[in-house]
Amino acid sequence: MSSPQFYLHGVSRRMQNPKLRRLFMHIGFWLFWLFRTFYDIVSLYGFGFGELLFMLVYASTQIPMMYLHLYFFVPLLLNKRHYLLYAIATISLIFTYSFVNYTLLTLIPESILSIGLSDYISHLNARYDIFEGFFTLVITYSIKYAGQVRSTQTRLLQLQRDNLTLELNALKAQINPHFLFNTLNNIYSLALRKSEKTPDMVLKLSDMMRYVLYECNSGRVALDREIQFISNYIELERIRHGDDVSINFSLTGNPKDYQIEPLLLIPIVENSFKHGINAQMEKGFVDVQLNVLNGSLQLKVLNTVHLKGAFSKEKGGIGLDNVQKRLELIYPQKHYLKILALKDSYKVDLELNLL
């Protein structure tokens, strides 16, 4: 014997079918809509075969009227801006509904009707249900229009999410080869000098590649792991440059228990090297300060510049435009980015709400 849970699971799975779900929604609406009239009739005149036949007549005229309006007049006339034809057709439909409803009700034999319901029908005329017909069309059109608006909004939101995913994937595709290319160049420079630091650089590169290839492809990552990636990169640069330049990196606060979009901060740090001390190779400096406190991250990067304006203009580089775009996409209203070009240095301040 099937368990109730198995049965409910089967019903839920079948209800995922859009056509079946739509059918049940229509049936549910009509049961609710006709119940109010049925309740009034039974309350006033009791329940019998005549009252049931009265409701069948009522349903057999209202349902076709509603569907003719929603699926013929609205798409072919109203939506195509044939407003006059739509008004004439809709008014004619309402009058026709009222007349047909009245005619069918008068054909019900008095012998099967209660005295009160028979007396009620005898006082009707062909225009008795015009207001009810108009009210039905307004309500059903409003419900359908609201459903269409909601469906359109859902599709737009889905398109926005899809576009966001595609765009972020494209941005990541720009970043990953960029890091690999620069770091391999660093290792190559040391290898040419037969430096003893080359193996350490290879290990750090291995950790960086593991992070990029396996940890950056499933949404946000642990903030401390992202910071470790930045630290590895700075250490690679420190090993490469030795004592020729001043490189400082400080971290305050506790980055644990927070997450961040992967590879979001590193372009700022990388560009400070690439267009700062890497362009000069001597008498330069890079100062990177990270602070994590109460769900807020602050990144301050200050570096010397070799060529004014080179920081974000390099052809083929990701620059700060990439960072700004990702911040706007992922952290709208939750970030503050300030870029300041001084006479012989470049400063970037980023504040990010991680909550």
The SS3 of residue 54 is: helix
Q: Give the model's confidence band at 326: pLDDT under 50 very low, under 70 low, under 90 confident, else very high.
A: confident
Q: Are residues 91 and 220 in the same domain?
A: no
Q: What is the pLDDT of residues 245-280, one digit of tens each?
A: 889 999 999 888 899 988 889 889 888 887 777 655
Do residues 120 and 196 both lie within one domain?
A: no
Question: What's the token pair of residue 90?
Answer: 């809709």
- Rounded-to-integer distance, Cα 298 and Cα 312, Å: 21
Beta bridge partners of 352: 297, 335
Cα–chain center distance at 298: 27
Q: Is residue 149 part of a domain?
A: no
Residue 323 in any domain: the answer is yes
Q: CA 113, 115, 118, 122: dihedral to nearest 10 degrees?
A: 160
pLDDT at residue number 148: 79
User: Does residue 83 share a domain with residue 172?
Assistant: no
Average pLDDT in the chain: 81
Tell me, yes or no, whether 252 and 122 share the same domain.
Answer: no
pLDDT tens per residue across span 195-247: 887 888 888 888 888 887 788 777 789 999 999 999 988 888 887 777 778 89
Are 48 and 178 in a shared domain?
A: no
Range of the domain at 344: 165-353
Does residue 15 lie in a domain region?
yes
CA distance 27 to 247: 72
- For the chain, the helix, strand and coil percentages under 3-state DSSP, each to the nearest 5: 65, 15, 20
Residue 160 covered by a domain: no
Task: Look at the chain and report how many structural domains it folds into.
Answer: 2
Residue at a domain's end among 101, 128, 155:
128
Mean pLDDT lowest among 222-236, 283-297, 314-328:
314-328
pLDDT reported for residue 349: 94
Q: Within 13 A of 351's CA, how many CA atoms are on the CB side? A: 7
For residue 123, being part of any structural domain is answered with yes
Query: H or E segment at 44?
Result: helix 18-45
Task: Report the alpha-carbon distance of residue 224 to residue 265 in Å, rounded.
Answer: 12
Most confident of 90-94, 118-122, 194-198, 343-347: 90-94
226 Cβ partners below 8 Å, 6+ apart? 260, 262, 263, 264, 265, 266
Strand-pair partners of 293: 296
Q: Which of 105, 128, 151 is the last residue of a domain?
A: 128
What span, in angstroms and rounded, lies between the C-alpha atoms of 181 and 172?
14
Q: Per the confidence metrics, is the pTM higher than 0.85?
A: no
